Amino acid sequence: MTARPLLLGACLLSLAWSTQASQYYSCNGDQGALHWPDGLATISLADLSFPPGSGYRNTAIAAIESWNQIIGSNLNYTITSDNFTDSSLGDGINKIYFSSDLDDDTLGITQFEYYQSRCELSEADISLNTNYQWLTENKNPALTQQDINARRHNLQSVLVHEIGHMSGLDHETGNLPVPSNLRPSAPGPSVGHNYQRIPVADEVAGIRGLYPGNDKGLDLAVSLYRSSSDGRFNVPVARPSSMQIRQGKSIEINYVYLDLGSIKTNATAAFYLLDSLDYRNNGFNPARYQAIARQFITPSHNDAESQLLQKRLVMPFNDDFPLGDYQIIIDIQANSDDQDQNPDNNYTPFHYTLTLLAGNADDIDPPEDEVPPATGDDFDNDGLVNSEDSDDDNDGYDDTADAFPLNPLEWLDSDSDGVGDNSDAFPQDPNESKDSDNDGIGDNQDAFPFDASQSTVSDDSGAAANPLSLLVLLIYLGIRRRTRYERT
């Protein structure tokens, strides 16, 4: 007999974010985490909601692919289409569509069905509210108070959030062990005044823990949202005290550097000042502009890393930058020959316009000490080219004895499995490198890699053989139209 769906609960997310970090959806008596079997699922986009070739469909595809592209994870969504118009939970099709049945204060809903005993998702549907105007432009994703009042919202940001739920990330802190140095969260930065269009560091850490993979790659990114004390990336970086500045005077810029890949490298942040009209018309291409400042960055963590950084910029005083409105752009590039797997997240515009006013040639701030950017020929930026440098990554280990000569965080690989000892949970076992549930048994051998109470299937009466139990979770992603809105 097929079990009837059971509504477990709902939570509402408004502009005033929850202060808790997110974790996984627990199941089977809090002993496991909901996940797609083998990290594989298919998402079907409704043709009526997302017509082929439309901006809506392209935006939805970009949101889905942002989860597929997480390095070190085997999560992979295949994208297809269908002609359905509403949810038929239980038909085995994972759907994204627009619906007129949602409450006014609800942007979207994600509904789940799963096998209770195995903690495996069997279906998930996402519905979006037709009562909102959905924006698909990607140059400056910040919403204004006028957008909120007019019920306009950003499609990719909300979909990134909901697909995070579909992938198994919850809002609330759960009981499972933390898989990395950053607690995983649902995509909190994607809604309200927080507009991150990709999964950020804590979300990446969560997906890696839930769907561990062995792929290696470089993925650097920049964000305008930092982690709060509870681990969530939902706090906008500090805004400069004034949006008007005179030529030759300086302004303090805060930003967050994200190292989301498994290959660690030094990097350079380049700062650009673009005419606002030119930026709106032509977007950003670093080949067309000259950076006004640069900052050298070194990695500091093994896993999904973030660093809150600050840079003092002195406004130019020359004919190349006439008085007027400008957009500040930050672009992150790796100082190595490795190719960045997700170059689209390497730059971000600040979500405000800076007005350049006439300055005084006798009152110009001194420039901040500039550290020249490293290059592929001088990885650690110490003035010695790699061919003449006996320690290219400056980690204190000679290149001839360093298993990772261009990774300052690793130098030994005792079991020769390609994972450095500092990141390897089993540095003496070439067949294991991760232990997601911290039970002392590697994920490759652990039949229950997210359940610390079990490690192998003993007989047919074990948890994996329990009868099918289907449950439904509703996650409401809402927005309350309040006067409490911070424009960033």
Q: Which domains does the chain have, with CATH numbers?
A: 12-214+467-478 (3.40.390.10), 233-357 (2.60.40.10)
Q: Is 455 exposed, middle or buried (0-12, 13-18, 19+ CB in 10 A)?
A: middle
Query: What average pLDDT does the segment 221-243 reach?
Result: 72
Split at pLDDT 50, 70, 90, the class of 287 is confident
Q: For residues 29 and 25, give the distance between their C-alpha atoms in angstroms, rounded to a whole number.
A: 11
State the pLDDT at residue 75.
95
| Mean pLDDT on 253-271 | 87
Q: Using CA atoms, how far apart are residues 9 and 293, in angstroms rounded to an integer?
A: 50
What tens digit of pLDDT does each residue of 172-208 get?
433 333 333 233 333 333 333 345 567 877 677 778 8
Find the helix or strand (DSSP H, E) in which 55 lies: helix 55-68
Question: Regarding beta strands 94-99 and 40-46, do their DSSP bridges make them parallel or antiparallel, or are they unpaired?
Answer: parallel
Q: What is the pLDDT of residues 417-443, one digit of tens each?
A: 877 887 788 888 888 887 766 778 887
The bridge status of strand 152-154 relative to strand 133-135 is parallel
> What is the spatial distance between Cα 448 and Cα 451, in angstroms, rounded to a whole number?
5
In terms of Cα–Cα distance, which of 47, 106, 107, 104 is closest to 79? 47
Task: Name the pTM for this structure.
Answer: 0.67
Nearest Cα to Cα of residue 244 among 365, 320, 357, 358: 357
Residue of 122, 162, 135, 153 whose CA lies nearest to 36: 122
The Cβ of residue 18 has, within 10 Å, a number of other Cβ atoms equal to 19
C-alpha to C-alpha distance for 16 and 219, rounded to whole angstroms: 30
Three-state DSSP at 346 gives: coil
Q: Residue type for 203, please?
A: E
- Residue 358's nearest CA partner among 312, 389, 388, 323 is 323
Confidence band (pLDDT; 50, 70, 90) for 388?
A: confident
Which is it for strands 40-46 and 76-82: parallel, antiparallel or unpaired?
A: parallel
Q: Tell me: pLDDT of 468 over 70.
A: no
Determine the pLDDT at residue 464: 33
- For residue 261, the model assigns a pLDDT of 83
Residue partners of 371: CB distance under 8 A and separation at least 6:
294, 295, 296, 381
Q: Are 453 and 438 in contact (CB under 8 A)?
A: no
> Among 41-55, 188-202, 394-408, which stretch is predicted with the lowest mean pLDDT?
188-202
Given a cut of 50, is residue 133 above it in pLDDT?
Answer: yes
Asked whether 113 and 3 are in contact (CB, 8 A), the reply is no
Mean pLDDT within 167-173: 69
Rounded percentage of the chain residues whose pLDDT exceeds 70? 72
| 128-132, 244-248, 359-363, 367-371: range with lowest mean pLDDT | 367-371
* Phi, psi dihedral angles at 43 (to 5 degrees): -110, 130
> What average pLDDT does the chain have?
75
Tokens coding 143: 């919403």
Confidence tier at 256 by pLDDT (50, 70, 90): confident
| % of residues, the chain, pLDDT over 90 | 22
335-353 pLDDT, tens digit each: 877 888 888 788 888 867 8
Q: Rounded to whole angstroms, how far apart are CA atoms 275 and 327?
A: 6
Place of tokens 């969560």: 206
Ramachandran quadrant class, 387 (left: phi over 0; alpha: psi -120 to 50; beta: rest): alpha
Strand partners, 331: 270, 347
Measure the CA–CA gap between 189 and 84, rounded to whole angstroms. Answer: 30
Mean pLDDT of 393-405: 84
CA angle in degrees (0–180, nearest 5) for 22-24-29: 130
Confidence of residue 316 (pLDDT cuts 50, 70, 90): very high
Using CA atoms of 194, 198, 203, 208 in order, give the dihedral in degrees to the nearest 10. Answer: 180
According to the model, what pLDDT value does residue 234 have?
58
> 371: pLDDT confidence band, cut at 50, 70 and 90?
low
What is the C-alpha radius of gyration for the chain, rounded to an integer number of angstroms? 24
Mean per-residue pLDDT, 210-230: 79
pLDDT at 230: 54
